Chain A
């Protein structure tokens, strides 16, 4: 490998430190020529050199789309007059060529008195620490990122495990596949993991990513849960995932072995949902029934109205109840009782006549008296 002048200069500066006012800034990188997406260990130390002041740091790596950062450790020792901060990062370069890793740094100077005053506050009477904040411009770390070998899909040292619990299923029954890629390196997220197969439907689930600490940095364990479904028997072809281990500078491949699946045909009729399936389409004549009902109601109303009219025309007038009682009277005394009971004043002349007839003359017939009573009613 040929070293350029710039690369040589960078190698000379590793580790390099900056003596700023009041503190020293030290950066250590394990490599300045990483491969694309290969993890780079970045250690940063901030040590106070001016022991006459109380100093605090506010330090961070500037986020960028040129790299991805994971902080894996950090130690903050804010001992008065001797403040020391240590940061450990894993950095994944995302662009080839030279990239700058920039920092933001604010130096915060205060004194013991101010510190004591701020500590005297409480929840209800918070006293902010009065500091003199000064931004410090730190020079960026420059990485020269190398391209990956052609066709590389995984970067790091990974292993693959495949679990196929079922190889014989019924038509369209899902065939579960569980695969796990585990190791150190750039997060092993592949999409799709299984290529398209004719006549087979693939069902993917979002991969479940586990992160765990390792001596070198961070390890990843990614679980892929997917399922296949087909009508006919098929064979899953062998899938090779090309990988590259930047630490050992070697290429290797992870292989999903070929697997044959036996699919037996299912009777289609047994698959039909007989409970929730809508009834087969047919022409509805319900509107005709409704129309018929309405016509019947209309007809009934019309006929009722007519009947009422006919009844009014043809029904004979009801007989006056008093006339009925007069007709029903079997003797003169009964007739007298009826007339006295109902309207003695109206029938007064007739009452007197009946009275006279009953107890004196006895000349009138019952019929004539009844007739007279009816005439008085008119």
Chain B
């Protein structure tokens, strides 16, 4: 099974240089059927990577550029009146796809973001009085730009919680940057071909479900989650003032699934604390709500997670 993953990664490398963390995060999302929020400055191949993934998987791919004047009907679809036979027909929106790239999601107003809530959680769309189930797999990969603050709408906590992971994309290393400019100048980025089909993905998901996880490791996950809610219990009294809300139960589930996927991607048949440690930042960082004091001090949720991981003993 790891051979399928290797093949997929190699195909993606034709279009994307570096960005291993993002690719691995997307694969975890794919294997766990979890939505991914990607944050990074412009030009870090966020859209390219998602595009390449959809091609390599041979999945249906749609992209929505979120803008302030976007309406819910623009993404979910609408009923259209047919004057010839005086009937209404359903025009499905771009949500009816396997991979949905919601580009610059924080530029859309709250009502459009809310329209995504049902889709992301229930994987179904309601237009007028009809509800349509979306085809499997269905993944939302949203991007947002952290630099611009003008004319953006912060995503509500409820919606952020529906994203399995938030990946923070950073700039490439110098070697990778050199390769990018060489390939870019020669137009040497290869075409991405389909190397994996849907059935193989479903098979991988089934394998993932069977992956063993020790009760002690499960308990470790619960302890980490509890530490975000009640840090004083773990000798982290200083965090009490900095944390307003800990992570939700959905975070526990996502961390559990993400750790399994990470173990699978590493080629293991069981989950170890290291798997959890490798994904915990991505799973927790958008779910922890910091207090005003913490934000005033410039403390980030990543720093809080770091202190929790450092403190909570591993089994």
| Cβ contacts under 8 Å, A62 to chain B | none
| Residue B313 at the chain A interface, CB threshold 8 Å | yes
Listed residue (B21, B276, B277) with the most chain A CB atoms within 10 angstroms of its CB: B277
B232 on the interface (CB 8 Å rule)? no
Answer yes or no: B307 CB below 8 A from chain A CBs: yes
Chain A residues within 8 Å of B, Cβ to Cβ: 325, 333, 336-342, 344-345, 348, 351-352, 354-355, 358-359
- Residue B212 at the A interface, CB < 8 A? no
A339 to B272, CA, bound (A): 15
Residue contact A336 to B306, C-beta cutoff 8 Å: no
Convert B234-266 into 0s and 1s, putting 1 for each residue whose CB lies closer than 8 angstroms to a CB of A.
000000000000000000000000000000001
Instruction: Decide if A337 touches B274 in the complex (CB within 8 Å).
Output: no
Q: Kindly report which residue of chain A lies nearest to residue B314, judged by CB atoms.
A: A333
Q: Which 9 A-B pairs have the closest CB atoms?
A: A340-B277, A341-B309, A355-B274, A341-B310, A344-B278, A341-B306, A351-B274, A355-B272, A333-B314
Return the contact of B21 from the options A325, A333, A345 (Cβ within 8 A): A345
Residues of B within 8 A of A336 (CB): 273-274, 277, 314
Give Cα distance in the complex from A348 to B279, angstroms. Answer: 11
Is the beta-carbon distance between B266 and A344 smaller than 8 angstroms?
A: no
Which single residue of chain A is at the shortest CB-CB distance from B275? A355
Shortest Cβ gap from B269 to chain A (Å): 12
> How far, in angstroms, from A333 to B313 measured CA to CA in the complex?
8
Alpha-carbon gap, A338 to B307, bound state (A):
9
Chain B residues numbered 270-303 whose CB sits less than 8 Å from any CB in chain A = 272-274, 276-281
Specify which of B273, B308, B310 is in contact with A355 (CB 8 Å cutoff). B273
Cα distance A202–B313 when bound, in Å?
Answer: 109
Min C-beta distance of B217 to chain A, whole Å: 10
Complex contacts, A355 vs chain B, CB 8 Å:
272-274
Interface residues in B, total, Cβ within 8 A: 21
A366 to chain B, nearest CB (A): 15
B residues with a Cβ closer than 8 A to A are: 20-21, 266, 272-274, 276-281, 305-310, 312-314
CA distance A339 to B307 in the complex (A): 12
Scoring A325, A345, A354 by chain B CB atoms within 10 A of each residue's CB, the highest score goes to A345
- A sample of 8 inter-chain contacts (CB < 8 A) reads A333-B313, A333-B314, A337-B277, A337-B312, A340-B274, A351-B274, A355-B273, A359-B272
Closest to A332 in B: B314
- Bound together, the chains give a CA A354 to CA B277 distance in angstroms of 13
User: Which partner residue on chain B sits nearest A333 by CB separation?
Assistant: B314
Q: Which of A342, A348, A351 contacts B306 (CB 8 A)?
A: A342
A345 and B314 contacting across the interface, CB-CB below 8 Å: no
Q: Are B307 and A341 in contact (CB under 8 A)?
A: yes
What B residues does A348 contact at CB under 8 A?
278
Q: A341-B277, A345-B21 are in contact. List 11 more A-B contacts (CB 8 A).
A: A337-B310, A337-B313, A340-B277, A341-B305, A341-B309, A344-B277, A348-B278, A351-B277, A352-B274, A354-B274, A355-B273
Q: How far is the CB of A176 from chain B (nearest CB, A)?
A: 82
Specify which of B20, B274, B310 lies most central, judged by the most chain A CB atoms within 10 Å of its CB.
B274
| Assembled-state Cα–Cα distance A146/B266 (Å) | 146
CB closest chain-B residue, reference A339? B277
Residues of the B chain whose Cβ atoms lie less than 8 Å from the Cβ of A359: 272
- How many angstroms between the C-alpha atoms of A341 and B305 in the bound complex? 7
Complex CA gap A30/B281 in Å reads: 131
Closest B-chain residue to A355, C-beta based? B274
CA gap between A348 and B305 in the complex, in Å? 17
Task: State the CA gap A354–B314 with chains docked (Å).
Answer: 13
Closest chain-B Cβ to A25's Cβ sits at a distance in Å of 104
Evaluate contact between A340 and B272: CB separation under 8 angstroms: no
Assembly CA distance A336 to B278 (angstroms): 11
B residues in contact with A341, CB < 8 Å: 277, 305-310
The residue in chain A whose Cβ has the minimal distance to the Cβ of B24 is A345
A365 CB, min distance to chain B CBs, angstroms: 19
**Distance in Å: Cβ of A374 to nearest Cβ of chain B:** 17
Q: Complex: how many Å from CA A159 to CA B306?
A: 117
What is the CA–CA distance of A358 and B275 in the complex, to the nearest angstrom? 13
Chain B residues contacting A333 (CB-CB under 8 Å) are 313-314
Most chain B beta-carbon neighbours within 10 Å: one of A336, A340, A345, A352: A340
Are A352 and B309 in contact, CB atoms less than 8 angstroms apart? no
Chain A residues within 8 Å of B307, by CB? 341
Residues of B within 8 A of A345 (CB): 20-21, 278
CB distance from A231 to the nearest CB of B (A): 83
Residue of B nearest to A342 (CB): B306
Give the interface centre of B21, B278, B308, B312 by most chain A CB atoms within 10 Å. B278
What residues on A are CB-neighbors of B278 within 8 Å? 340, 344-345, 348, 351
Which residues on A sit within 8 Å (CB–CB) of B308?
341
B266 lies within 8 A of A337 (CB): no
With A344-B277, A345-B278, A355-B273: A337-B21 Cβ-Cβ less than 8 Å: no
Across the interface, do A344 and B281 meet the contact criterion of CB distance under 8 Å?
yes
